[in-house]
Every structure is written in C-alpha cells, then in structure tokens.
Chains A and B, each alone.
Chain A
Amino acid sequence: MSNVIPASLVKPKPAWKVWFDRIRNLSWTWRITWFYLSAMLFLPLVAMFTKAASDGWGKFWEIASSPIAISTYDITFTTSLIATLFNGLFGTAIAWVLVRYDFPGKRIIDASIDLPFALPTSVAGLTLATVYSDNGWIGSLFAPFGIKIAFTRLGVGMAMLFISLPFIVRTVQPVLIEMEKDIEEAAWCLGASDWQTFRQVILPPLLPSILTGMALGFSRAVGEYGSTVIIASNTPFKDLIAPVLIFQRLEQYDYAGATTIGVVLLLISLVLLLGINILQAWGQRYEEQ
C-alpha cells in the first residue's frame, strides 16, 4: 500500500486543526482501539518508566550496573547471540531445503517447524530439562564425557535454540519462494560455480531476511523466561539470565530492582525492534524492482 496523499492536498489546514478534527470525528472502531491500547499497553509502560525514574538516575544506574545485573546481561546476550548464530545458519538451510527440494514427509516437517511457537514454554522447559539431564535421551550421551547440559548455561542455550528456530525459517522462507530461479540459472549458464552463484546471486537478496529473522529470534531468546527458568539452575554468575533475575527480585518484593532491570530489558527490545524495522525496509528495496 503506497497510495500517498500529495502534500499539496493536505497543506491548507493548520496541523492542530487537522488533529482536532481527527480526534472529534474518530469512529468508534478507533475509539476502542485507542482505549484498549491506552489501558493495556501505554498505561503499564508509563507506570514502569515512572517507577524507574522515581528513585532518580543515580539509583537506577546503581542497580542497572550492579555486578549481578551485569552478569545476567552478559549471560543472556552472549548465550542468545550464539544460539541465534547457530539458528541463522541452520534455519536458512532448513528454509532453503523446504522451498527448493522435494522429499517424502516435507509437508509434515514444514508444519512442525512452528511447534516451538505453539508449545507452551513451560512444557518446552520441562521436556528439554528431561532430555538434556544426565539420564535423559541426549544428556546421557554427553554425561560420560563430563559434559552437563541441563542446569548449566549450555542448557539455557539449547532452550534458546528451540524457541527461536521458527523465527529464522519463517522469515527466510517467503523471500526464497518469491526469488526467481531464472537468475540463478542464468548465473550458472554464464559459468558461475555453485559457490559463486550462492555468494553473488542468492545471498544478497536473502541477507536482509536472514538478519531480520535472526534479530526476531534473538529478541525472543533474550526475553524468554518459561523454558529457560526450568532448564537452568538459576545460579547467579553462572546461568542466571536477566528475565529470571527480574522474577527473583519481584519474589523478594524488591520492586525498584525488578523495574530497573525490566526497563533495561525493555529498552533493548525497543532498540532491536527498531533494528528489525530498518532491516525490513532494507529488504524491501529488492521487492521494488
């Protein structure tokens, strides 16, 4: 949708009047939309920022940069980033395989990619904790080598892999479907090797969607609580992640502490959201042609 109204048609009315008329003539669908958004989204956001600001900047900074807070950011972001990189690689390969190749059971596999979306996070946490525990199906393979997965940071990473995989596959897939196979064949006919075709023809239009998917998955992994709280031992400085720290602060009725870390986490999701929007705008430049 890009039927932009020419600026010359809007100009004559002063801006305030346009807004005044708009608010006065608001249809009831708009009123419901704004009322619900205000009550459910804006009010809680304002409440949180007011609470964070109420104790002053010094207190905010003190809590936000305390050693335990820093360690939770470190653990949350590094683990999410590693999980996202793995999923970026394998998610793109899965999307490619699902779009370009035919093999038996493809439809079922395609549908099951969304399972981590649909499965409640506590169920994911429960089954991952069991599978990766020392006597679980996968954990028992690694236990003899002294590698513990459940109740360590590695387990948190596995949970993040699980919950963020669909984001990458589902973002790359539609772009791959749209992509013309002709260009690849042309490149190949002109004597390009498989690797050259991939690097110079397939990857450039695909890259924005891969990065968008990774950013979406990363954002989800950073905020994840249900599956990670169950699979982690939640030991500070070891595998305690930021969302769990917020929860623990709340359990101790430390609202200021919880709010501060909550605001930090929220600001980071906002920055990520902005980045995702920029990436999507970047990706669209290929669609215009």
Chain B
Amino acid sequence: MKNSNPANALVRQGPAKKPFNWIPPILIGLSLAYIILIIYIPAINVFYQAFHKGIEPFIANLTRPDFLNAVRITLSLALITVPINTVFGLCAAWSIARHQFPGRTLLLSIIDLPLSISPVVAGLMIMLLYGRQGWFGGWLQDRGIDIVFAFPGMALATAFVSMPFVVREVIPVLEEAGVDQEEAARTLGASDWQIFWRVTLPNIRWGLMYGVLLTNARAMGEFGAVSVVSGNVANTTQSLPLFVEETYKQYETEAAFSAAVLLALLAAVTLIIKEILESKTRIKDKS
C-alpha cells in the first residue's frame, strides 16, 4: 500500500533486516478478497439480476397487485411492531439500567433470547399457543378470531424476533448518561413525564434511534418466523420477504429479484443511517 500509516514508516526505519513489511498488503488483500466473495458478489448480483433486462420488466413487476399487497403487509407489520417494541424497550431498558438487583445479567440474557432462538422455533411457539390445536386455539376459534395464518400471527412473530434491539441499544446510553441530570430535574420539581421528555429522552436519542432502526430492519425483513405462521397466502398473508421466496419457487425469478432490490435498498439505507448514528454517538463519547 502506498499511503502507509506512520507505524509502517517506523517499521521501515528499523533494522535493515526488514526492508518492507509484507504482512499488511497480504492481510488487506486476503480480507478484501473474502469480503468480495462472501458479501459483495451476492449483493451486486441482486441488482444485476433485477435490471439486466432493462428497467421495464422491473417496473412491470413492481405494479403487480400481489407485489403491492406484499409491500402493504410489510409496512403494516413494521408500523405495528416497531412502536410496541419501542415502548417495551424503553420501559425495560429504563428499569434495568436504573436498578441494581440480583439476576440482572440473567434478565438481560433472557431479553436477548429471541436473537438466539431459531426463527422457525419462534414461529412454532406461536403455532402452539394460537394455532388450531394450540392452548388458545379452541377459545379463539369459538369467537371467530384468526391469529395463525392471518395478519395478527405475523405481527406476533415479527414482534417476537425484533424484541431485544431497543433494550440492547438503550441500556448502554442510559448507563452512560447517568442519573445526575435526572435527579437535578427532580429536585427542581419536574414530574416523571417532564424528566423523561426533557432530560432522559434527549440524552438517549441516538441510542434509541439506533435501536428503532434495527427493530425496523428486522421487522420488515423477517422471513423464517413469519413464514411459519403466515401460511403464505398470496394477497392476504404475504409479506415482501415471503413474496421473494414464493415467486422464486414459482420460477418467476425476475419478480423475486425486483422485490429483492427493494429489500436490499432498505438494507442499504439502514446501514447508511446506522453509520450516521454511530458517528453521532462517537462524537458524544469524545466530548
């Protein structure tokens, strides 16, 4: 590498035995090759496959009624589960960060469970509760309420898998912000709500946004858990990730890639916002 860092320059001035350090270029080359093979080629392929026959088939696929419905379902899922998980996440993060109690680490691990449980197992558990043979199945059926193979089941599955993100991201920023400012506000006569809106929330806003961002990405992109409980009925219980798989299985590869482009763009936007939020929190760390 031509623009080597100061450390390399130091190394080169060292003993004459080491005229040039070959390790950095080799490691950089290997790492880049691996990233290109594992991540970049598949990512670029999404866009190539969607557009290699021009933009018209892409537009045509985007106006299919079943596609538009899948977009609607995916947006509805995110619109319902993200706020619920944000409220839960804030409550749980505040409770855990502001209290010391036995089993605190255990509780944190428990909240992280949905990330370790296989999405299929998550879907299975919802089937066992609300499915026809499930615990509440009979009760629900008597009242004509559909959860499994319908939108509510998909929302439950989505909420389950995206549960931990806000808690995980907010606890560290809450701990870092400390309690001093909140206590000062309290002694000055602020109510709990005032403290939350004017002191706590501004302090944790970047961490919270980070958590919400990850929750949203997972909610819109979840496949496994939703696939188990949805029954994958076109036009009614097909979210965008399910549409991708279903069209691919029906040999409508172009439709699959058109939808995939949309989801890949969502992922790209998520990563860009994530990067911005990370730089914000890093600046805060230094000040």
| A residues at B contact (CB < 8 Å) | 1, 3-5, 22, 27-30, 32-33, 36-37, 40-41, 43-45, 47-48, 51, 90, 93-94, 96-98, 100-104, 107, 109, 111-131, 136-138, 158, 161-162, 165, 181, 194, 219, 222-226, 229-230, 242-244, 246-247, 250, 255, 258-259, 262, 265-266, 269-270, 272-273, 277
Give Cα A41 to B85, complex, Å.
13
What are some 29 contacts across the A-B interface (CB < 8 A)? Answer: A3-B100, A22-B101, A37-B92, A40-B163, A41-B163, A44-B126, A47-B128, A93-B31, A93-B34, A97-B24, A98-B31, A102-B4, A112-B40, A114-B274, A118-B221, A120-B222, A122-B245, A122-B260, A130-B49, A137-B45, A161-B38, A194-B23, A222-B118, A230-B245, A242-B118, A259-B124, A266-B117, A269-B118, A272-B116
Contact indicator A101/B1 (Cβ below 8 Å) = yes
Closest partner residue, chain A, to B32 (CB atom)? A109
Give Cα A47 to B126, complex, Å.
9
A246: contacting residue among B109, B121, B245, CB under 8 A: B121
Nearest first, the 6 A-B pairs at minimum CB distance are A223-B118, A120-B221, A44-B125, A225-B224, A118-B267, A226-B223
Give Cα A125 to B257, complex, Å.
11
B28: contacting residue among A103, A223, A226, A266, CB under 8 A: A103
Assuming the contacts A48-B124, A101-B24, A111-B271, asked whether A120 and B241 have C-beta atoms less than 8 A apart, the reply is yes
Contact indicator A94/B31 (Cβ below 8 Å) = yes
Give the number of A-B contacts (CB < 8 Å).
259
Contact indicator A126/B244 (Cβ below 8 Å) = yes
Contact indicator A165/B39 (Cβ below 8 Å) = yes
Which chain A positions have C-beta within 8 A of B220?
A: 120
Which chain B positions have C-beta within 8 A of A48?
A: 121, 124-125, 128
Q: How large is the interface on B (under 10, 10 to 19, 20 to 34, 35 or more residues)?
A: 35 or more
Contact indicator B1/A103 (Cβ below 8 Å) = yes
Q: Measured between C-beta atoms, what is the minimum distance from B59 to chain A in Å?
A: 19
Give a binary string over B218-229; 1 marks a CB under 8 Å from any A CB, 0 the rest: 001111100110
Closest partner residue, chain B, to A244 (CB atom)? B120
Which chain A positions have C-beta within 8 A of B1?
A: 101-103
Closest partner residue, chain B, to A249 (CB atom)? B124
Contact indicator A43/B267 (Cβ below 8 Å) = no
| B residues at A contact (CB < 8 Å) | 1, 3-5, 7, 23-24, 27-28, 30-32, 34-35, 37-43, 45-46, 49, 87-88, 90-92, 94-95, 100-101, 105, 109-114, 116-129, 131, 133-135, 156, 159-160, 163, 175, 217, 220-224, 227-228, 240-242, 244-245, 248, 253, 256-257, 260, 263-264, 266-268, 270-272, 274-275
A225: contacting residue among B110, B120, B267, CB under 8 A: B120
Which chain A positions have C-beta within 8 A of B125?
A: 44-45, 47-48, 262
B217: contacting residue among A90, A104, A118, CB under 8 A: A118
Q: Measured between C-beta atoms, what is the minimum distance from B279 to chain A in Å?
A: 10
Contact indicator B120/A246 (Cβ below 8 Å) = yes
Give Cα A119 to B264, complex, Å.
6
Give Cα A114 to B275, complex, Å.
10
Assuming the contacts A90-B30, A114-B274, asked whether A230 and B248 have C-beta atoms less than 8 A apart, the reply is yes
Contact indicator B221/A119 (Cβ below 8 Å) = yes
Which chain A positions have C-beta within 8 A of B248?
A: 126, 129, 230
Give Cα A40 to B122, complex, Å.
10
Give Cα A194 to B245, complex, Å.
49
Q: Measured between C-beta atoms, what is the minimum distance from A89 to chain B in Å?
A: 9
Which chain A positions have C-beta within 8 A of B116?
A: 219, 223, 269-270, 272-273
Contact indicator A113/B245 (Cβ below 8 Å) = no
Contact indicator A122/B118 (Cβ below 8 Å) = no
Give Cα A246 to B123, complex, Å.
10
Known: A41-B113, A41-B160, A226-B223. 8 other contacts (CB 8 A): A29-B95, A30-B91, A44-B122, A98-B31, A111-B275, A118-B266, A131-B41, A219-B116
Closest partner residue, chain B, to A51 (CB atom)? B128
Give Cα A96 to B126, complex, Å.
42
Q: Measured between C-beta atoms, what is the minimum distance from B286 to chain A in Å?
A: 14
Give Cα A109 to B200, complex, Å.
34
Contact indicator A33/B88 (Cβ below 8 Å) = yes
